[in-house]
């Protein structure tokens, strides 16, 4: 029932995760990539609990996402349904569950300081922690995408949804880019991945 997802996490994390899962009543499904989320947790109408995780995540991000969603289940069980999804109850639960995994037998040494810093106050998405998100992406499969911070000023690029933009200036931490069709301005995190458009085409 739970075995398929074990193929997606680091080898040395499998026993810890199995122990964690055995304490729950959660069904875990590995799904095709969803652009807007890495995973989710929900209580089904039949009273059962389900976690879904994207299949395209590298093993370290898959593990973090899995524990993130298990923390939702645990917080729901302990504190009830009226807590905020990413409030203090979830944060504390996530921190406690993640602690045994933060060691060099599971994560590369280079990631550990970034993870330790992130888990002082975990966010709703690790993507908003730019140094951690960038470091985690180094373990992804190679692709033809470019990080937004590498895009030259004035360069045209597109997103996964087909929208085209012109690269603008950096504003504090994020980059201001204009959608070509509407002229509307959007702010992008530095670790956002985009596809460059050859302006000679």
pLDDT tens-place string over residues 31-90 = 988 777 899 999 888 888 999 999 999 999 999 999 999 999 999 999 988 899 899 999
**Residues 15, 83 share a domain:** yes
Which pLDDT band, with edges at 50, 70 and 90, does 201 fall under? very low
Q: Answer yes or no: do 78 and 98 share one domain.
A: yes
First CA to last CA distance, the chain: 50
Please give the pLDDT value at position 144: 78
pTM beyond 0.75: the answer is: yes
Same domain (yes/no): 81, 55: yes
Of the residues 137, 164, 184, the one at which a domain ends: 137
**Do 173 and 131 belong to one domain?**
no
The DSSP secondary-structure symbol of 67 reads H
Structural domain contains residue 166: yes
Question: Are residues 100 and 190 both part of a single domain?
Answer: no
Shared-domain flag, residues 118 and 154: no
The token pair at 134 is 């960038």
CATH for 167: 2.30.30
50-87 burial, b at 16+ Cβ within 10 Å, e below that, comes to ebbbbebbebbbbbbbbbbbbbbbbbbeeeeeebeebe
* Domain membership flag for residue 201: no
My answer on whether 56 and 107 are in the same domain is yes
Tell me whether residue 88 is in a domain.
Answer: yes
Range of the domain at 32: 4-137
Q: Is the pLDDT of residue 2 over 60?
A: no
137, 57 contact by CB (below 8 A): no
Domain for residue 82, yes or no?
A: yes
Q: Tell me the pLDDT tens digit for each residue of 113-171.
A: 999 999 999 988 888 888 998 899 889 888 778 888 889 999 999 998 889 999 999 99
Q: How many domains does the chain have?
A: 2
Could you tell me if 99 and 169 lie in one domain? Answer: no
The pLDDT, as a whole number, for residue 160 is: 86
- Residues 146 and 134 sit within 8 Å (Cβ to Cβ): no
Cα distance between residue 193 and residue 159, in whole Å: 8
Confirm whether 127 is domain-assigned.
Answer: yes
User: Phi/psi of residue 55, each to 5°?
Assistant: -75, -20
Residue 92 and residue 122: Cα distance in Å, rounded?
Answer: 9
One domain, residues 105 and 186 = no
Within a domain: 173: yes
Residue for token digits 């093993």? 59
Regarding whether 82 and 52 lie in a shared domain, the answer is yes
Domain boundary among 96, 115, 137: 137
More confident residue, 175 or 1: 175
Alpha helices in the chain (DSSP H): 14-22, 59-79, 88-98, 112-118, 130-137
CA 103 to chain centre: 20
Q: Do 43 and 99 lie in a common domain?
A: yes
């Amino acid at each position: 029932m739970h075995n398929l997802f074990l193929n997606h996490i680091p080898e040395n994390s499998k026993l810890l995760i199995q122990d964690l899962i055995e304490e729950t009543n959660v069904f875990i499904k590995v799904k095709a990539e969803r652009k807007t989320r890495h995973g989710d947790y929900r209580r089904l109408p039949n009273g059962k609990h389900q976690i879904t995780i994207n299949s395209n995540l590298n093993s370290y991000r898959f593990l973090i996402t899995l524990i993130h969603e298990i923390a939702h289940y645990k917080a729901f069980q302990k504190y009830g349904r009226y807590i905020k999804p990413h409030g203090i109850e979830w944060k504390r639960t996530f921190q406690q569950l993640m602690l045994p995994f933060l060691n060099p037998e599971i994560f590369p040494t280079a990631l550990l300081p970034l993870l330790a810093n992130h888990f002082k106050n975990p966010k709703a998405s690790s993507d908003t922690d730019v140094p951690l998100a960038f470091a985690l992406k180094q373990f992804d499969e190679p692709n033809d995408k470019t990080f937004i911070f590498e895009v030259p000023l004035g360069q045209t690029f597109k997103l996964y949804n087909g929208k085209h933009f012109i690269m603008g200036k950096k504003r504090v931490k994020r980059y201001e880019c204009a959608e070509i069709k509407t002229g509307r301005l959007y702010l992008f995190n530095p670790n956002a991945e985009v596809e460059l458009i050859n302006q000679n085409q």
